[in-house]
Amino acid sequence: MDKLKKVLSGEDDGNSDTPGILVRANQASTLSWGARVRGFIICFVLGVFCSILGTCLLWVPGFGLAVFAVLYSFGNLCALGSTMFLVGPLRQVKNMCAKERAIATIVMLVCLVLTLCAAFWWKNNGLALLFCVMQFLAFTWYGLSYIPFARDAVIKLFSLCL
């Protein structure tokens, strides 16, 4: 049972002599707090820039949708990954899989993959845009889970509007 717990928590990658990849990455991160904050800011700003640039290039005829899908999805991944600088990769993955964030994380990552599929494989502009909107909403819901009572406030606001 302990072996299963280690495998599921990322502490064991099948070889009992070496720790899992997330544990090793977490142990190897010896950045100072200032370097972590700078890494977070750079990665987050890069993510926002890519998302905005992708949105601006959406209307370019011919290849706009494909560029948009890639840049917007890459921007979301950068913004999501930026928090790894602050809390470390192992804790970030644990936070993403926490009970209050798991559904938003799954929806966001599935919509990210579906966005790329719709743009490159299915070549369906409407679906690609729909999946991008769903990515945005799932990412927003994920982000709100870190602010105490923010989700409750959003639900109450929308219930008042309806």
Mean pLDDT value of segment 139-144:
93
Domain membership flag for residue 18: no
67-85 as b/e: b if 16+ CB within 10 A: bbbbbbbbbbbbbbbbbbb
* C-alpha pair distances (Å), 55 with each of 17, 18, 74, 106, 130: 47, 44, 12, 23, 13
Domain membership flag for residue 104: yes
pLDDT tens, position by position, 74-105: 999 999 999 899 888 889 999 999 999 999 99
Q: Which range marks the domain in which residue 128 is found?
A: 31-161
Domain membership flag for residue 11: no
Number of domains in the chain: 1
pLDDT tens, position by position, 28-58: 667 888 898 999 999 999 999 999 999 888 8
Domain membership flag for residue 23: no
